[in-house]
Amino acid sequence: MADEADALAMAPGDVRERTEKAVEAMGFLGLERDLVIKTLKRLHKAFEYSQSMWDHVEMENYRMLADEALNLQTKLEKKRERATADDDASERPSRNVNRAQSSFPSTPRVNSYPERSAAALKALASNIIQKEEEAGRKKMQSDRKVSAQKDPSLSLSGRGPTPRTDGRAVRIIDPSEVTAARRRPDNNIAHKKFKQRKEEFKPQISPPALRAQVSGSHDIRKKRQRLVALRELNEPGGEAGEVAHGSDHDIDRYVKGQCRHDDKDLSRGFEAIPIPIVNHINSETLPSSFFYIDKSRPYEKAFVNLAISRIGDDDCCPNCHNDCLSAPYLCACARETGGEFAYTSDGCLHRRYIDQFLRIKKGLSAERKHYCESGFHCPHERHKNEENPTSCKGHPVRDFLKECSSKCGCSKQCGNRVVQRGISRKLEVYMTPEGKGWGIRTLEDLPAGAFVFEYVGEILTNTEMWERNNEIIRNGEGRHTYPVALDGDWGSEANLKDEEALCLDATYFGNVARFLNHRCLDANLMEMPVEIESPDRHYYHVAFFTNRHVKAKEELTWDYGIDFGDEEHPIPAFPCCCGSEYCRGKMA
């Protein structure tokens, strides 16, 4: 029974349901969904991602959540006010995280809800946790006394809380102690506001009805649904139990969807060919915080304009039929690639692109570079040291591939539509034996120039990406994000703002390319920028092609272009174990 209750608390469906209930309850107070989700994340973190957070959140009609949401609202309002003031004072907001943190003014605010810092919230949570543990210990001691009287061999004296299979300690909650620990003086504004709003709702919803709506814990039907969901999650490949190790992103994840990886097909049928997941090395499973998507999507603020009206008559071939490659004339879509299509009739990238790539890699051809016009406004450089930015080190000039698009008259099978048709090669995600974590290998021989996959992820502005990285640094998670800058055209834009420059991040949402490992210099894949829907090259596709023949079962690799010696980079590079004779990132 105890196990069942425990497992119930960990079921992702349960977390999602509880999140929704909390959002709904706060909606009655006029608190917005985004704010509530953010607050839940803060609480989640403050409770060290323990599922016991939910018990506290749901107590007393979500009183704690209402308090914290109002705290956060005040904080965000203050931040917005400050940002507006800063905007007036200077044109560009600060990007240096460390400085931004330390220079946060702490001016008291009049007529606002008292603000609580993350540290204070953490202190509050640890106070509650301590109380719980104390209560748990007391309860265990008394339980032990009873059990010892019944069966002396069950005595666990001196061992502390019972370890769970997931490594976290079980906390036995005594609600009366917890409530006492959280009780606040009567002049608690949030509580008053909450009570007042509850009064306002009285005519429409009686307190028991509200309670049923916001909690559902007494609703037998809901309980049964939870149990069914739990049973499903306990099937092989399910992720029951993983939630206990969740991060800040968990709540987002449960709001956005569930991540259950199917060992038979990572893509859940979204790709034409299934992508199996195999692990013959250890017992690790794929990260549950990763969700497979087959097409890139903007995260929040990225401006991606794919309007048909932006495709000019010169950028498409409306008069073509079937296959542009076998037409007796060269259509407009070949003009972009120098009057020749980029693909051969067997669907591979033309040899000239591979040769050019290899020449550049081997240093035989000078890499052409674009330099940001004003030098010091390079998005790559300016965040490193805002006070004293380094000048633009140049962006490689990329030869874009251009595929036929929605305004072209050819068919989906046209030879100039390779990347947009998606993955067509047999691939496998597997646990690498060299300690690189998961990797990708091909299950079939691939000729040179074969399209393998594109890099799919969330489309973020540079600002959003830095915020995401900084959050990871602040949380001391020691994790990496997996962004790829869409910098193919940065060099041609003067004063490109961080709010406009884009990148793809596949850390949480992405396709199989997210498991592509790095190899120094002699990797077998090369990346190519591809223009499909948008001729402006602000947003484009990053496609991977083989640069040589690759044998079945070989790992697919890419040279990330990491500068392993870059000490200014806020996230240290991983010690490389690519095994290449040209390795630049080996540990000493």
Ligand X SMILES: C[S@@+](CC[C@H](N)C(=O)[O-])C[C@H]1O[C@@H](n2cnc3c(N)ncnc32)[C@H](O)[C@@H]1O
- Strand duo 525-531 + 517-518: pairing: unpaired
Say how far apart CA 333 and CA 157 lie, in whole Å: 77
Say how far apart CA 503 and CA 463 lie, in whole Å: 10
Say how far apart CA 116 and CA 415 lie, in whole Å: 60
Cα–Cα nearest to 8, from 43, 55, 42 = 55
Q: Considering Cα of 43, then 44, then 47, then 52, what sign does the dihedral take?
A: positive
Using CA atoms of 228, 246, 274, 412 in order, give the dihedral in degrees to the nearest 10. 110
Smallest distance from ligand X to CB 481, Å:
9
Smallest distance from ligand X to CB 431, Å:
8
Say how far apart CA 74 and CA 22 lie, in whole Å: 19
Q: How many residues does the chain have?
A: 588
Comparing CB distances to ligand X, the nearer of 43 and 576 is 576
Smallest distance from ligand X to CB 45, Å:
23
Comparing CB distances to ligand X, the nearer of 517 and 547 is 517
Comparing CB distances to ligand X, the nearer of 337 and 517 is 517
Say how far apart CA 148 and CA 155 lie, in whole Å: 6
Comparing CB distances to ligand X, the nearer of 93 and 561 is 561
Comparing CB distances to ligand X, the nearer of 65 and 523 is 523
Say how far apart CA 588 and CA 584 lie, in whole Å: 11
Smallest distance from ligand X to CB 523, Å:
9
Say how far apart CA 224 and CA 222 lie, in whole Å: 5
Say how far apart CA 405 and CA 411 lie, in whole Å: 10
Comparing CB distances to ligand X, the nearer of 333 and 576 is 576
Say how far apart CA 134 and CA 217 lie, in whole Å: 26
Comparing CB distances to ligand X, the nearer of 201 and 564 is 564
Q: Cβ-closest residue to ligand X?
A: 437
Smallest distance from ligand X to CB 286, Å:
8
Q: Which residues bind ligand X (CB under 6 A)?
A: 436-439, 480, 482, 514-518, 574, 576-578
Smallest distance from ligand X to CB 457, Å:
10
Say how far apart CA 10 and CA 7 lie, in whole Å: 5
Smallest distance from ligand X to CB 520, Å:
8
Smallest distance from ligand X to CB 549, Å:
22
Comparing CB distances to ligand X, the nearer of 72 and 440 is 440
Smallest distance from ligand X to CB 550, Å:
17
Comparing CB distances to ligand X, the nearer of 438 and 539 is 438
Give me 107's structure tokens.
Answer: 């001016």
- Report H helices in 459-560: 462-474
Give me 401's structure tokens.
Answer: 């591939």
CA atoms within 13 A on the CB side of 33: 7
What letter does residue 180 receive in the DSSP assignment?
H
- Bridge partners, 297 (sequence order): 458
- Bridge partners, 429 (sequence order): 277, 440
Comparing CB distances to ligand X, the nearer of 75 and 436 is 436
Cα–Cα nearest to 499, from 531, 541, 464 = 464
If phi > 0 it is left, if psi is from -120 to 50 it is alpha, else beta; for residue 258 that is beta
Smallest distance from ligand X to CB 145, Å:
48
Comparing CB distances to ligand X, the nearer of 116 and 436 is 436
Comparing CB distances to ligand X, the nearer of 14 and 242 is 242
Asked if 401 and 531 touch (Cβ cutoff 8 Å), the reply is yes
Give the strand order in the sheet containing 555-558.
Answer: 277-278, 427-431, 438-442, 555-558, 517-518
Smallest distance from ligand X to CB 439, Å:
6
Smallest distance from ligand X to CB 515, Å:
4
Smallest distance from ligand X to CB 94, Å:
27
Comparing CB distances to ligand X, the nearer of 11 and 525 is 525
Say how far apart CA 285 and CA 431 lie, in whole Å: 9
Smallest distance from ligand X to CB 555, Å:
10
Comparing CB distances to ligand X, the nearer of 76 and 571 is 571
- Bridge partners, 543 (sequence order): 454, 528
Say how far apart CA 435 and CA 439 lie, in whole Å: 10
Question: Contacts from 186-190 at CB under 8 Å and sequence distance 24+?
Answer: 188/67, 189/70, 189/113, 189/114, 190/63, 190/66, 190/67, 190/70, 190/71, 190/113
Comparing CB distances to ligand X, the nearer of 42 and 436 is 436
Smallest distance from ligand X to CB 583, Å:
8
Cα–Cα nearest to 512, from 478, 482, 550, 547 = 482
Q: Please, is 279 exposed, middle or buried when counting C-beta atoms within 10 Å of its C-beta (0-12, 13-18, 19+)?
A: middle
